[in-house]
Structure 1
């Protein structure tokens, strides 16, 4: 029996993520003193009895996050970490409910789309980067993705490439570029994430950027929607989260989908017939960074945790385990990782990066246009 996800919905609508109505003024840091982070080298008694709440994506990602960062942090500092597993849409909802007071988390993971909404809602603290001992080792291309209104907000953990994931037992000749997904031989076997899911908006951005187009150019956006319409009648699944993407590929409901390199390589490692193509015309960047919400009562401990999060020592096992490039440029990866994964400043500079300043306020409208094509 085919998965429910593979059935082409009639009249189906993907509810857009609620976006901020405008961009709030970015506030400067309100503290006049520096934060003693301890540089990740404190003794086991330094934070005894203190607790912080940190978010992590659910599943194997979260398990590896705990092993790579949380366990050594608790051992070295004596600070207990309460992990909240889930996804950034849910965390953003809780931050909004708190309204910048009595924050539900002390350190929170967000992808760029959620970041822009959080900053627009005045829910995050700008970073005091001078109080992060590894800040200068972090990739400047990645830190710029979390810089809004001249203020740095996020510590980049890992970045991936959105390209084409495909079934190697169904597609014998690997696709080479984005346009290959429109090949009629794949019609009926294409999975297409909606624009309200990061993977879908990243793919749409790749279509817009063809020929030098920008999301801020209505003509380029119209051209991308015209291109997208060529897939009408050819899409077999509309996965709106990572688990659904994996499911439709595993079940054979789809043979090809715009998705991330790390996820593809993890599936391949599990023995699944999965391959990944870095598009010849350029991949789209996908980034996870960590932030300090407004209203935390544990800023000092939060900065200490961010130092662990940003260190090459702790990022290396996490990056290699997830097959994503770490935010710290000084990591010496294993030969196997270097051979398989494209990473580093030179790679990130060539990425298409989603222009969320433009996309966020238009996302509802664009998703409605998407719905009209694939109704």
Structure 2
């Protein structure tokens, strides 16, 4: 699902393959991963990983453990545990693009004993995995971001992007950016389509193009358009609304009444881990309210633990609370990946007219 530029804050920020070099420690050998009290876990690099490393130090102290972090984005992490099936070097793998569904089908990750997840009952229903795999520990979402100084009445629906009052100031995102693709799907679902039929979304966006200030591909371009006042509203990511607001821009995030498009970030225990019990404790650690609160404050990802209380300023830039969280739409990642090339051709024809 990733497809846009990554500022280091966002796990779903556009990289499907990992950096060629990393400050993370090198991957452990299988024998090292199997050592008592030792875990090898993946993370996404950048500020995301640096924040997790701070929490990991606490986990190490609490459980007298040693945790080694390997930088792997979701697609690469899936490829690695697939290649190492039967001889795994990784104990806990993190996914942000729906890869856990593929990993489960291929028997690459383990179902967890719910009685050992002490925080499970504190989670929103939408965070739970109905098949018994690890739940999501963080949410990201595509919704509406807007300049609160320019738009006094907050938008409430995807349909508000077509409001004539915003003509000339709408930011439209290219399909090569994952958030642009998600918006097309949101428009499709709003008009009777879905992941098998995106045409209603393309038809609706055709009507929106005259209102667009620009069609852009990258997050820096989106940020610049808001900063320069050329764009006042766009369908974009909550994580970047957090980033823009930290930069001093008067940006707010809204979960549309139809439901924001959700990104469900999870940490899964790899099938074949020799430290599965400790790995499950690590998963449970990420579900704790205190850990999720600090993660939201540092990186802008919404908590999946419903007991987490956040400041009004943070609530303004993420899906927060029972209603917004449980209405989030989970896309069929298999269909998205299967159809993306065809959709890209359709999109390119649309915007070239």
Query: Do both share a fold (TM > 0.5)?
Result: yes
Shift in CA distance, 195/314, structure 1 to aligned 2, threshold 3 Å = same
Deviations 1:246-268 (A, max 9, x none): 56655778654422223213321
Is the partner of 1:288 in helix, strand or coil? strand
For residues 130 and 370 of structure 1, the distance between their equivalents in structure 2, rounded to whole angstroms, comes to 47
Shift in CA distance, 245/48, structure 1 to aligned 2, threshold 3 Å = farther
Matched, 1:276 2:263: no
2:52 corresponds in structure 1 to 65
Preserved contact between residue 50 and residue 79 of structure 1 (Cα < 8 Å)? yes
Is the partner of 2:329 in helix, strand or coil? coil
1:106 corresponds in structure 2 to 91
1:161 corresponds in structure 2 to 141
Gaps of 5+ in 2: 6-15, 18-33
Shift in CA distance, 186/114, structure 1 to aligned 2, threshold 3 Å = farther
For residues 259 and 281 of structure 2, the distance between their equivalents in structure 1, rounded to whole angstroms, comes to 36
For residues 114 and 193 of structure 2, the distance between their equivalents in structure 1, rounded to whole angstroms, comes to 31
For residues 253 and 264 of structure 2, the distance between their equivalents in structure 1, rounded to whole angstroms, comes to 18
TM-score, structure 2 as length reference: 0.75
Preserved contact between residue 106 and residue 299 of structure 1 (Cα < 8 Å)? yes
1:52 corresponds in structure 2 to 39
For residues 217 and 205 of structure 1, the distance between their equivalents in structure 2, rounded to whole angstroms, comes to 10
For residues 195 and 127 of structure 1, the distance between their equivalents in structure 2, rounded to whole angstroms, comes to 36
Q: CA deviation at 1:192?
A: 0.8
For residues 295 and 281 of structure 1, the distance between their equivalents in structure 2, rounded to whole angstroms, comes to 40
For residues 222 and 114 of structure 1, the distance between their equivalents in structure 2, rounded to whole angstroms, comes to 26
Is the partner of 1:304 in helix, strand or coil? helix
Q: Which has the higher mean CA deviation after the structures are superposed, 223-232 or 170-179?
A: 170-179
2:63 corresponds in structure 1 to 77
Preserved contact between residue 99 and residue 123 of structure 1 (Cα < 8 Å)? no
Is the partner of 2:98 in helix, strand or coil? helix
Shift in CA distance, 279/309, structure 1 to aligned 2, threshold 3 Å = same
Report the aligned-residue RMSD.
3.7
For residues 199 and 331 of structure 2, the distance between their equivalents in structure 1, rounded to whole angstroms, comes to 16
Preserved contact between residue 74 and residue 97 of structure 2 (Cα < 8 Å)? no
Shift in CA distance, 174/154, structure 1 to aligned 2, threshold 3 Å = same
Q: Which has the higher mean CA deviation after the structures are superposed, 176-185 or 304-313?
A: 176-185
For residues 311 and 161 of structure 1, the distance between their equivalents in structure 2, rounded to whole angstroms, comes to 21
Preserved contact between residue 237 and residue 253 of structure 1 (Cα < 8 Å)? no
